[in-house]
Structure 1
Amino acid sequence: MLKPLLLILVCLALLGLSVRLFYRGLRQSGTDRVLGRLTEGQPELVVEKSSWAGLERAFLRAGLGRPTERIGLWLALWAFGIVFGFALGSWIGALALLLLPPLAVRLYVSWCYQRRLKRMIEQLPQLLDHAVRSLKSGRTLADAVMGAIDTAEQPLKDAMGRVQRNVQLGVSLPDAASDLAELYEKDELRLFALGLKVNHRYGGNASELLDNLIKMIREREQASRQLSAMTGETRVTAWVLGSLPVGLAGYFLLTNPHYLLAMWNDHSGQIMLATAFSLQVVGSLALWRMLRSV
């Protein structure tokens, strides 16, 4: 009975993932459509992607370097851990060491990416302000942006170094900024790239454009902080509700391990534990979606 339940859970998870991908494809952002119209008729650079392109991209965005240099060693350690877990805890230990390390790495990379991206957006107005002052002193837009990158602080300087390298290789500044925006998938960077592209094609007052972008970024940052302060109680409540069942299960394992183990060895107990785990996953996903909507 347990195996069909696990198979049903896997099918439901795959169904939810497919619906999410379909919904995400339908909601293509207006910025992408505008950029597509602006780049009509221009040659596109075709980049050959490796089988580990997604992993490299995630680590690059998080500022953790290239993981493929030691991927063989990490995979070997992971396989050894699975075998070790099977030797200690049968298939339960093997399943735990099969799922927990990738989940932990995914959460750590996502946390590093969000923290780095937040710091970059906080530093972006200073970079744009330096570029505006350079423009008013008589420099061109490309020279002003390149000079502002040299004076930027980490991690923004390291990220914008990608723009510098592309420009030095012959890529136009708007295309290099678009490449950076698509890598980090942030609206502020996309608006910066879009402004450069529009100015490059149609001309206009670049300093006024950057001033408006600085004002917009600071207003969004202020609104984000106000929203975070107003929804702090809601987020804490969600974390408590999500972690309370896991904490109770851990407490039972520490104080009375035979209680849950006896349930696991019984057929009806296995159904109850599988149902409880499914409800916990569904509840955590629901709380996560609620937090994203506030």
Structure 2
Amino acid sequence: MLKPVLLILVCLVLLGLSIRLFYRGLRQTGTERVLGRLTQGQPQPVPTKTSWVGLDRAFLRAGLGRPSERLGVWLLLWAFGMLLGFVTGGWGGLLVLLLLPPLMLRLYVNWRYQRRLQRMIEQLPQMLDHTVRSLKSGRTLADAVLGAIDAAEDPLKNAMGRIQRNVQLGVSLPDAAADLAELYEKDELRLFALGLKVNHRYGGNASELLENLIKMIREREQASRQLRAMTGETRVTAWVLGCLPIGLAGYFLATNPHYLLAMWHDDSGQIMLASAFGLQVVGSLALWHMLRSV
């Protein structure tokens, strides 16, 4: 009876991946379309793709460096953990150690990325303000931006160091900023790169453009805080609904373990438990998407 349960879990995972890919395919913001029109007719750098480009990208955005150098060691430890789980817990232990480490790693990397990105956006207005003061003192736009990056604090300074390295290698400042915005996928960074590109191509008052960007970022941050305060009850309700079935299952295992174990040793009980697990996963994904929409 374990094989149908594993098949159901694999189908649910594949269904979740397909929904995620479809959702990502629909996400093409207006800023990306504007950037595409601005770069028409210009030579584009050819990206070098590797087998682990997605993993490297996720770790770079989270500030964890490149995992490719230590990937063999981590895969060996993971295989050893799965073998140990199979020896100690049978097929159930193998399944747990097969799925749990990648899931925990994904959650940790995503948490690090979101926390780091939030801190970067909080520091961005100060960096832009430093750039505006440098522009008004007579420095060029490129010198003002690079000087503001040197005066910034981590993690923004560490992330913006990518722009400095690209400029030193001969890449133009707008293209270097666009590369950074594409890496972190944040609207504020995309608008910063778009402003530099427009100023580089058509000219204009760069200090006024950056001042408007500073005002927009601060207004968006204030609106985001107000929205989080207004939707706090909704988010707490979603967390309670998502954690309630897991809490009840843990309570049953702690107070009366034979109740669930008797269901697991019965064919119909295994089907019920697998269905309940699948519905819990689907419901948690639905609540997660609802929380992201607010």
Scaled by the length of structure 1, the TM-score of the pair is 0.96
Residues 126-137 of structure 1 aligned to structure 2 (within 5 Å) = 126-137=126-137
Residues 132-171 of structure 1 aligned to structure 2 (within 5 Å) = 132-171=132-171
Q: Partner of 1:176 in structure 2?
A: 176
Q: Partner of 2:273 in structure 1?
A: 273
- Aligned-partner Cα distance in 2 for 1:100–1:289: 22
User: Which ranges in structure 2 are unaligned for 5 or more consecutive residues?
Assistant: none
Q: CA deviation at 1:9?
A: 5.1
Q: Partner of 2:14 in structure 1?
A: 14
Question: Which one-letter code corresponds to 2:191 in the other structure?
Answer: L
- Aligned-partner Cα distance in 2 for 1:183–1:265: 49
Corresponding position: 1:91 with 2:87: no
Q: Partner of 1:32 in structure 2?
A: 32
Question: Which one-letter code corresponds to 2:169 in the other structure?
Answer: L
SS at match of 2:178: helix
Q: Spell out, residue by residue over 1:143-185, the C-alpha distance to the aligned partner (whole angstroms, 9 max, x if none).
A: 0000000100110000000000000110000000000000000
- Aligned-partner Cα distance in 2 for 1:134–1:149: 12
Q: Spell out, residue by residue over 1:16-40, the C-alpha distance to the aligned partner (whole angstroms, 9 max, x if none).
A: 5334423432442221121111112
Contact map agreement 1:131 1:144 (CA 8 A) in 2: yes
Contact map agreement 1:188 1:217 (CA 8 A) in 2: yes
Q: Partner of 1:240 in structure 2?
A: 240
Q: CA deviation at 1:47?
A: 2.5
CA distance 1:20–1:56, change in 2 (3 Å)? closer
Q: CA deviation at 1:8?
A: 4.6
CA distance 1:168–1:137, change in 2 (3 Å)? same
Question: Which one-letter code corresponds to 1:227 in the other structure?
Answer: L
Q: Partner of 1:192 in structure 2?
A: 192
- Aligned-partner Cα distance in 2 for 1:67–1:205: 42
CA distance 1:16–1:87, change in 2 (3 Å)? closer
SS at match of 2:49: coil
Q: CA deviation at 1:41?
A: 1.7
- Aligned-partner Cα distance in 2 for 1:204–1:220: 25
Q: Spell out, residue by residue over 1:244-289, the C-alpha distance to the aligned partner (whole angstroms, 9 max, x if none).
A: 1111212222232222111101111101101111111111112112
Q: Partner of 1:105 in structure 2?
A: 105
Instruction: Give the % identical residues.
Output: 83
Q: CA deviation at 1:4?
A: 4.1
Q: Partner of 1:57 in structure 2?
A: 57
Q: CA deviation at 1:134?
A: 0.4
Residues 67-82 of structure 1 aligned to structure 2 (within 5 Å) = 67-82=67-82
- Aligned-partner Cα distance in 2 for 1:25–1:112: 24
Q: CA RMSD in A?
A: 1.5
Moved more, 101-110 or 23-32: 23-32
Q: Partner of 2:222 in structure 1?
A: 222
Contact map agreement 1:52 1:68 (CA 8 A) in 2: yes
Contact map agreement 1:120 1:156 (CA 8 A) in 2: yes
Contact map agreement 1:2 1:274 (CA 8 A) in 2: no
CA distance 1:114–1:251, change in 2 (3 Å)? same
SS at match of 2:236: helix
Scaled by the length of structure 2, the TM-score of the pair is 0.96
SS at match of 2:51: coil
CA distance 1:274–1:8, change in 2 (3 Å)? closer
Q: How many residues matched?
A: 294
- Aligned-partner Cα distance in 1 for 2:199–2:143: 14
Contact map agreement 1:2 1:271 (CA 8 A) in 2: no
- Aligned-partner Cα distance in 2 for 1:22–1:288: 16
SS at match of 1:49: coil
Q: Spell out, residue by residue over 1:205-259, the C-alpha distance to the aligned partner (whole angstroms, 9 max, x if none).
A: 0000000000000000000001111111111111111111111212222232222
